[in-house]
């Protein structure tokens, strides 16, 4: 393509984009939000959940490193969830525990328990984009999905691993997010997030997350047993598998405080 | 072989923690090898060496039963030191039974408790005695006998402590480094209380989190963990004797976590037979996340310690500023480094430290700790360390 052709095609596409924007002002945005709201709504009402997480971290050379975490989560309607994560592996961090009260708006409240010192430390939740335990998952990748955390744009329908998917761009509203945007593939039948592309602050493709082996719990809630995160820039990857999902454990807010954090095991 | 069997039993049960009435058991722990290199021979008698080797082990045995409502933890500690017979020691860090109910828990036995928010010293951390031979950082503590009732309320957590039995501070022996010119005698300890180490101490603490604030308030009445020293003669040899007085203390600790800032403060007011005084440790920590487009976080620390007793305080940060830089690489090996300095505004002396650690493979961790003392002022209590600049390498194996 020579310069002239390029210029022509840029002008043409700008005109197209312009007319599209004028004709359906906010339509793609509204549709994107509606799809995301539907996905959220279909996953509400699970009350509480416990699960074991196993992470396999692989570097560029394929060397593996293992992480094992158990978690308890309490659903809070109208706000972010409360969660308690207990680290089992690697062994030097065994007994370390992490308590988080996430919020739909504003900073999350987070505490870390360091068993060697018996110390509970309140930590800044500003660090959303940092790696979780050295893995390719960042803290924000593992946080609960809240409508207020993004603005939306519907892209279109595409075939995907399970049937047909709705493709939505999500733009983080938090200035501390590590991403400019993420593109999610949500299957039309059950509104499960099957795939996510993460774009860094410079808008280059950074990571791809694919979720597999979905199982339905309580006749309603779909959960993947395997989440594969590949970092396209560093060539590292992390496989996160969930075991022993258990819903309806009778957890209450009383299971999430500094005392339960200190004796979490 | 036995250990492998325990782990197998432990991990097998771990897979089904919800099963009622089943006994859960787990054995974990670490074994550490430590080599210390000193820059020079020590300034006192019997300190003419520059390397020291030491081994330690700290296993932990844990049982849980009654649908996770009861648990027992046993964690003994052993150290063998090449040079210092006082540093060769054993302790029970924890031997405690915890019973949980709906809104309270009862913790009984030998335990460790941490109170506080600041980094360079924790004035409010009064429950446990320091295991000082383990290191200068005061992070190592002796297990304290206690009955601790903890109540969880909407308005915070309230802890009551009954502390029967007192533990004396540990000190380096005649062949140890990082000690005063005179050795502290084990046999010459004196107490203000007539029932000596059997005095029953009491404490209470209320702590709560509201919005960005985490705070605690405490009251303590009993034997002072920090003794007063007196030079005496024992079998014709000059030694130091430690005297433990009775104190009553109230204190506050507060942290505000605002965006990348942590504002921290600890304040105590103490009444003892000699005087009433207050002391404070105030500071701030700011963290730069993901510096230079990497995953590395850099935290900058600044703290100021003040003790109303001034130079008479048996507190090494009586009028001192501390600065530090904490690096967390957030890599697979969890590499961290902390560089710090403490400057004494009364004596114009400074000490420097570097601490770094990194996991090796899945079960090993290597650490480096280096300290340098520019404390050539005989008035400063820290002058005793002036010849003790050291580099310590530690290799931990976790099981």
Chunked in runs of 10, what are the mean pLDDT values of chain B (399 residues)? 41 46 91 98 95 98 95 98 97 97 95 97 96 91 98 96 96 95 94 96 97 97 96 94 97 96 98 96 96 92 97 91 97 96 96 97 96 91 93 98
What integer pLDDT is reported at residue B8 of this predicted model? 40
- Say which residues have a Cβ less than 8 Å from residue B1's Cβ, sequence separation at least 6: none
pTM score, whole prediction: 0.90
Number of Cα atoms under 13 Å in the Cβ half of residue B106: 6
Q: How many other CB atoms are found less than 10 A from the CB of residue B314?
A: 13
Residue B150 in contact with residue B249, Cβ under 8 Å?
A: no
Number of Cα atoms under 13 Å in the Cβ half of residue B264: 26
Flag whether residue A134 sits within 8 Å of chain B, measured between CB atoms: yes
What integer pLDDT is reported at residue B21 of this predicted model? 65
Residues 215-244 of B with CB under 8 A from A: none
- Determine which of B77, B362, B364, B395 to mutate to test the interface with A (most A C-beta atoms within 10 Å): B362
- B154-169, pLDDT tens digit by residue? 999 999 999 999 999 9
- ipTM confidence score: 0.92
- Say which residues have a Cβ less than 8 Å from residue A221's Cβ, sequence separation at least 6: A43, A46, A247
- B251-285, pLDDT tens digit by residue? 999 999 999 999 999 999 999 999 999 999 999 99
Residue B390: which of B357, B361, B355 has the closest Cα?
Answer: B355
Flag whether residue A47 sits within 8 Å of chain B, measured between CB atoms: no
Sign of the CA dihedral running A143, A144, A145, A147: negative
Q: Is B177 helix (H, G, I), strand (E, B) or coil?
A: coil
Residues 90-109 of B with CB under 8 A from A: 98, 100, 102-103, 105
**Distance (Å) from the alpha carbon of A260 to chain B's nearest alpha carbon:** 10
Flag whether residue B23 sits within 8 Å of chain A, measured between CB atoms: no
Interface contacts A/B by beta carbons within 8 Å: 99
In A57-78, which positions are buried (b, 16+ CB within 10 angstroms) versus exposed (e)?
bbeeeeeebebbbbbbbbbbee
CA dist A131 and A240 (Å) reads 14
What integer pLDDT is reported at residue B17 of this predicted model? 47
Name every chain A residue with its beta carbon within 8 A of the beta carbon of B362: 65-66, 89-91
Cross-strand bridge partners of residue B331 = none
What integer pLDDT is reported at residue B20 of this predicted model? 53
What's the token pair of residue B17? 């923690």
The one-digit pLDDT tens for each residue of chain A (265 residues) are 454 454 444 444 444 444 444 445 589 999 999 999 999 999 999 999 999 999 999 999 999 999 999 999 999 988 889 999 999 999 999 999 999 998 888 888 999 999 999 999 999 888 788 899 999 999 899 988 889 899 999 999 999 988 899 999 999 998 889 999 999 999 999 999 999 999 999 999 999 999 999 999 999 999 999 999 999 999 999 999 999 999 999 999 999 999 999 998 8
Which chain B residue shows the shortest CA-CA distance from A114? B114
């Amino acid at each position: 393509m020579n310069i002239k052709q390029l210029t022509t095609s840029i002008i043409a596409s700008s005109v197209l984009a312009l007319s599209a924007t004028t004709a359906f002002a906010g339509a793609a945005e509204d549709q994107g939000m509606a799809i995301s709201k539907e996905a959220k709504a279909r996953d509400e009402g699970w009350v509480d959940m416990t699960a074991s997480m196993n992470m396999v971290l692989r570097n560029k050379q394929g060397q593996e490193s293992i992480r094992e975490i158990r978690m308890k989560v309490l659903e809070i309607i109208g706000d972010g969830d409360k969660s308690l994560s207990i680290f089992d592996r690697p062994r030097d961090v065994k007994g370390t525990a992490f308590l988080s009260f996430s919020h739909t708006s504003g900073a999350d409240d987070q505490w870390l328990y360091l068993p060697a010192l018996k110390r509970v430390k309140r930590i800044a939740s500003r660090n959303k984009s940092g790696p979780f335990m050295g893995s390719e998952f960042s803290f924000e990748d593992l946080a609960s999905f809240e409508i207020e955390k993004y603005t939306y744009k519907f892209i279109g329908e595409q075939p995907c691993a399970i049937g047909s998917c709705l493709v939505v761009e999500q733009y983080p509203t938090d200035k501390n997010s590590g991403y400019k945007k993420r593109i999610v593939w949500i299957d039309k039948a059950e509104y499960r997030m099957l795939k996510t592309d993460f774009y860094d602050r410079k808008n280059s493709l950074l990571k791809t997350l694919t979720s597999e082996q979905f199982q339905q719990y309580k006749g309603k809630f779909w959960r993947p047993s395997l989440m594969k995160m590949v970092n396209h820039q560093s060539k590292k990857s992390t496989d996160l598998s969930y075991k022993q999902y258990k819903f309806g454990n009778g957890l209450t807010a009383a299971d999430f405080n500094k005392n339960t954090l200190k004796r979490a095991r | 072989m036995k250990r492998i069997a325990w782990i197998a039993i432990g991990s097998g049960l771990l897979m089904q923690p919800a099963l009622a009435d089943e006994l859960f058991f787990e054995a974990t722990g670490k074994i550490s090898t430590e080599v210390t290199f000193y820059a020079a021979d020590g300034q006192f008698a019997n300190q003419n060496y520059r390397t020291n080797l030491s081994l330690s082990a700290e296993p932990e045995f844990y049982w849980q039963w009654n649908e996770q409502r009861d648990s027992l933890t046993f964690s003994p500690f052993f150290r063998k030191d090449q040079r210092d017979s006082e540093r060769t020691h054993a302790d029970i860090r924890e031997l405690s039974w915890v019973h949980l109910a709906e809104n309270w828990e009862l913790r009984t036995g030998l335990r460790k408790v941490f109170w506080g928010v600041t980094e360079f010293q924790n004035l409010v951390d009064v429950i446990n005695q320091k295991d000082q031979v383990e290191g200068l950082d005061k992070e190592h503590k002796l297990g304290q006998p206690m009955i601790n009732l903890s109540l969880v309320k909407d308005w915070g957590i309230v802890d009551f402590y009954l502390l029967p039995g007192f533990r004396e501070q540990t000190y380096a022996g005649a062949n140890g480094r990082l000690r005063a010119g005179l050795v502290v005698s084990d046999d010459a300890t004196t107490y203000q209380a007539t029932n000596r180490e059997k005095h029953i101490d009491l404490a209470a603490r209320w702590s709560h989190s509201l919005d960005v604030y985490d705070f605690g308030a405490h009251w303590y009445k009993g034997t002072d963990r920090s003794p007063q020293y007196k030079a005496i003669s024992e079998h014709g040899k000059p030694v130091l004797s430690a005297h433990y007085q009775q104190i009553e203390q109230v204190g506050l600790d507060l942290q505000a976590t605002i965006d990348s800032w942590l504002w921290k403060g600890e304040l105590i007011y103490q009444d003892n037979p000699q005087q009433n005084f207050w002391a404070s440790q105030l500071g701030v920590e700011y963290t730069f996340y993901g510096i230079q487009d990497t995953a590395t976080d850099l935290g900058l620390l600044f703290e100021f310690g003040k003790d109303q007793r001034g130079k008479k305080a048996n507190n090494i940060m009586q009028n001192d500023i501390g600065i530090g830089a904490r690096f967390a690489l957030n890599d697979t090996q969890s590499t961290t480094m902390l560089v710090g300095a403490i400057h004494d505004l009364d004596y114009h002396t400074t000490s420097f430290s570097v601490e770094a650690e990194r996991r090796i493979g899945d079960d090993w961790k290597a650490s480096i700790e280096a300290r340098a003392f520019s404390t050539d002022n005989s008035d400063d209590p820290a002058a005793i360390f002036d010849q003790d600049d050291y580099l310590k390498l530690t290799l931990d194996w976790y099981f």
